[in-house]
Chains A and B, each alone.
Chain A
């Protein structure tokens, strides 16, 4: 589904990513682990088409991403979900509006927006807080809202950039359980983390250091 082939990202003279190659298949769960500044977020940004690689090839669902016209980039972003350590919720909108917002930007009908939003909130177990404002929620609850927002487009792939980084261990475990559940329902997940405790289960592990994938982890 997503192939990175010899991807390099350079800023000035320094390499943020250097010759990174791997792929994520449908329904796969992969951990991207490494210390801070190793390049984990940059890899997710490349897949989300926020960052253009300096060289290399990114293939998304069989198509070379370099050939995507700029108007197609938002369409690709709707097909993948993304969540972050800092949740990135709109502070001036309640839970329901935050999740609905992702559908509103696509021009979806009101009825569809309401139905799909409630379903996503229910999937992540936060529908009872749909009228709450983000600051009234705990970190774990906020991340659930962010996941619900990522789910409204029923993405094939969910990119998770250190989603448990700001959470206590109990909340972190709950979020990981939720992601695992989503994966069992068919969503591929690429989760960047430097919390080795979370890396468990029969999942693919991609280790990155100083912008390079460790050799034995190339797939």
Chain B
């Protein structure tokens, strides 16, 4: 193992310019992938924030007793779609109304017209029009329920928007990931092929395939890691700059995309080197 590591380092030193070129190419490809990841992670964060606003509100008939309310609250809370149920009294509703629309509107009517309600926060996986509708349907016919609302149109639109976003993101993601994979695999392949003569000579003097592979494992690991690290640093800096200029749009920590790039680069370096070398060794017999 010590020999393989020494051999890998001395080989990287000998082919300095070529290594720099391949590390640069890997870094550039991963940087483009990183921009995509950064945009995706942030959009995903934004979508998740929008989803948290999906709530079902059960308006209760005036005169409903505390016991009836408690029974309904318990029943609703037991549903798998429900994360949290809050009881909003008529007074609390009025207070919230005043905060949102000002004092004067409520002063115009003799008594508080706003009904008490149960506000339901859905669990993460059920924050969709289907989830909300299931909860609404289960309570709509109850005698103490006046009405159930969850912003049906808005939630449906949000669902469609999310679907379009993820479909588009998936297509673009696959295209960018394939291009990155292609560029990195070929970059590594070229560095392996550039050493074809050395590999032939190694076989000639009786080196086993495992012996030939070891230094290439470290070289692939090093090139992939360094390319990933450079791309990761660039993405992290880009994220910091975006935070300065677009603080409201940047929701996700830049560290995750950066670390993903280091991991992806290292993995592709090792796998790419292993595959290229295997193909070459097989062809050499």
Contacts and interface: CB of A to CB of B under 8 A. Distances in A.
Interface stretch (B23-31, B45-53, B197-205, B226-234): B197-205
A45 to B, nearest CB: 9
Interface stretch (A33-41, A98-106, A121-129, A203-211): A98-106
Nearest to B212: A105
Nearest to A86: B197
B207 A105 contact: yes
Contacts of B284: 50
B206 A101 contact: no
B201 A88 contact: yes
B3 A77 contact: no
A88 B204 contact: yes
A104 to B, nearest CB: 7
Interface residues of B, number: 17
A48 to B, nearest CB: 8
Contact of B201 (A50, A75, A90): A90
A153 interface: yes
A91 to B, nearest CB: 8
B208 interface: yes
SS class of chain B's interface: helix, strand, loop or mixed? helix
A105 B198 CA distance: 12
A92 interface: yes
Interface string B242-285: 00000000000000000000000000000000000000000011
B18 to A, nearest CB: 12
A153 B206 contact: yes
B244 to A, nearest CB: 47
Nearest to B210: A71
A88 B208 contact: no
Interface centre among B205, B206, B208, B284 (most CB of A within 10 A): B205
B211 A105 contact: yes
Contacts, number: 47
Interface in B179-223: 197-198, 200-209, 211
Contact of B204 (A71, A75, A82, A104): A82
Given A90-B198, A105-B211, A50 B206 contact: no
Nearest to B285: A50
A75 B206 contact: yes
B67 interface: no
Nearest to A82: B204
B205 to A, nearest CB: 4
Contact of B206 (A52, A77, A91): A77
Nearest to B11: A92
A117 to B, nearest CB: 12
A51 B285 contact: yes
A169 interface: no
A77 B205 contact: yes
A102 B206 contact: yes
Contact of A77 (B197, B198, B200, B203): B203
Interface in B81-129: none
B281 to A, nearest CB: 11
Contacts of B137: none
Contacts of B209: 74
Interface in A75-95: 75-78, 82, 88-92
Interface in B29-74: none
Contacts of A107: 3, 211
B205 A149 contact: yes
A173 to B, nearest CB: 26
A194 B110 CA distance: 118
Interface string A51-62: 110000000000
A74 B206 contact: yes
B200 A106 contact: no
Contacts of A49: 285
B201 A74 contact: no
24 contacts: A49-B285, A50-B284, A51-B285, A52-B285, A71-B208, A74-B203, A76-B206, A77-B205, A78-B205, A78-B206, A82-B204, A88-B201, A88-B204, A90-B197, A90-B198, A90-B201, A92-B14, A101-B205, A102-B205, A102-B206, A105-B202, A105-B206, A105-B208, A153-B206
Given A74-B207, A76-B206, A90-B201, 11 more contacts: A50-B285, A52-B285, A71-B208, A77-B205, A88-B200, A88-B204, A90-B197, A91-B197, A101-B201, A105-B206, A149-B205
Sort A-B residue pairs by CB-CB distance and give the 4 closest, nearest first: A78-B206, A105-B207, A102-B205, A77-B206
